[in-house]
Amino acid sequence: MGNCNGNGQGDRCPHGAHSPVTVRSRLPPQVICFQSGDIVASGGALTSVDEKLKTQKIIFLIGGPGAGKDIQCERLVAKYGFTHMCMGDLLRVEASFPTSRGRQIRDIMQRGDIVPLDIVMTVLKDALLTKAESACGFLVDGFPREVSQAQEFERMIGHPSLVVVFECSAETMVKRLVIRGQTSHRFDDNEDAIKRRMESYFKTDEPIIEFYNRKKLIRKILAEESPEDVFLKTCAVIDSLE
């Protein structure tokens, strides 16, 4: 794919590289979101979500907890100027608010369970819309977690440009998570939640991979290797989009 300005010299997107979304995503005041997937702008003109996002590259990164998605996303943002949408971070921000939905999300994530479809899609759609006009493409990691999420994304927005799967053994992922948990202070980096998250991932990843495999969107990368090697292989896959 190369960088957004197309000069192939490592320059960033003219909009600037975007850091991962770590604050609550909100639509601008002039935009109101409807269940149908349509929005009404300040001028009263009706514009679909597809119109906002159809020119954007949207790349899904799939991998179990501890597969190394975070470090790869940081490097890909720096190289290509993508906007990084981490589904887990978006949900953790929502969980930090003292609302009924925030408490619901927090309870679910502390158990290591999957957040309901309607909540996930609302949070993700709002985050994408907020950055749709300025982004130079999106990296979305931690999504989809179920085939129903993939199907709903397709219905509301469309197909992703590519789905990168970081393959990693359970032993390696658990080891990495235990080390991370010693310093991260994340409420879902506890032993019980890690076990449930791991079980949930291996139960749900195959149907999702098969779903996108039928659409010829899957690219698999061995994530047991060094972060540098994984990054080079991921860049080669992304560059192949051009």
Alpha carbon 91 to its chain centroid, in Å, reads 11
- Label residue 8 exposed, middle or buried (CB < 10 Å: 0-12, 13-18, 19+): exposed
112 located within any domain: yes
**What's the pLDDT band for 40 if we cut at 50, 70, 90?**
very low
> What does the pLDDT read at residue 65?
84
What pLDDT digit, counting tens, does each position of 112-164 carry?
Answer: 788 899 999 989 988 998 898 888 899 999 899 889 999 999 998 889 999 99
8 located within any domain: no
146 located within any domain: yes
Q: Specify the number of domains making up the chain.
A: 1
Domain with 102 in it: 32-239
**What's the pLDDT band for 242 if we cut at 50, 70, 90?**
low
59 located within any domain: yes
191 located within any domain: yes
Per-position b or e across 86-101, b if 16+ CB within 10 A of its CB: bbbbbbbbbbeeeeee
Across residues 45-67, what is the average pLDDT? 76
> What does the pLDDT read at residue 204?
83
pTM comes to: 0.72
221 located within any domain: yes
CATH number at residue 98: 3.40.50.300
134 located within any domain: yes
111 located within any domain: yes
Closest CA to 120 of 96, 165, 153: 153
